[in-house]
Structures are given as C-alpha cells and as structure tokens.
Amino acid sequence: MTTIEEFIKARETIEKLAAQIIVFVERKAVKESRKYLDDANQRLEALRTMVANDVQVKVISRLTAQLDGLGVKIVRMETKAPAGRRVAKEKPEKPVASVEPAIAEASEIVVFEH
C-alpha cells in the first residue's frame, strides 16, 4: 500500500511535466513536448494504481483531462505542415542579346532665336 506522501510526490512530478509540456507547446517544439507527454502519461498510469480515496480519484481525473488536452494540442502541431521558407522556382536564363541603338543617326538640334 502506498502512502499519501508518495501519491503527492508522484502528482507533483506529473504537474511539473505538464508545465514543461505547456512551455514546449508554446515554443512549437513538437518532439520535446511529445516526449514529455509520453513520460507524464506513463507516470499517470502508475499514479492510478495508488488511488485510495475520493480526493485522489478527482486528482487523477483532473490530471487525465489536462494531459488529454495537451495531447490534442500536440497532435495538431504534428499534423500541421512545417512552415518553411518558400524556394523560388529557377527560371531558365535567356541569352543576352547585343543591344543595338534604335536610332541610326544622331538627331539634329535646332535652336530657335528671336
């Protein structure tokens, strides 16, 4: 049989992991948040075996809801396409044609006098 202190320590560990997951979700760090979520869910399963009274049942349901909500956020982040830079399509280079003057003769400047 586990003691209340062990239950509290395990609960606090899961809550710290949940806080870390929130930070990673805000930073859009998918891999780290997934790793911490998996760890928190494993610890939650171990915590479920320690339940001895109604208050602990409520704690388990609260933590389950919190981790499920974070899991949904992580899944959404995983399904989104990564925002990368767009690469401009390369256009084939056109050969540079020699530029010939359009005017063959220089125009004559006429000055009008009064």
Kindly indicate the confidence band of residue 99, based on its pLDDT and cuts at 50, 70 and 90.
Answer: low
Q: Which residue has the tokens 């610890």?
A: 43
Each domain of the chain, given as residue ranges in start order, spans 4-79
Query: What pTM does this model have?
Result: 0.67
Query: What pLDDT does 32 receive?
Result: 93
pLDDT over 80 at 91, yes or no: no
Structure tokens at 48: 């479920």
Res. 93: pLDDT tops 90:
no
Q: How far apart are CA 71 and CA 41, in angstroms?
A: 10
Q: Write the pLDDT tens digit of every residue in 13-47.
A: 999 999 999 999 999 999 999 999 999 999 999 99
Integer Cα distance of 64 and 68 in angstroms: 6
DSSP states of 65-78 as a string? Answer: HHHHHHHHHHHHHH
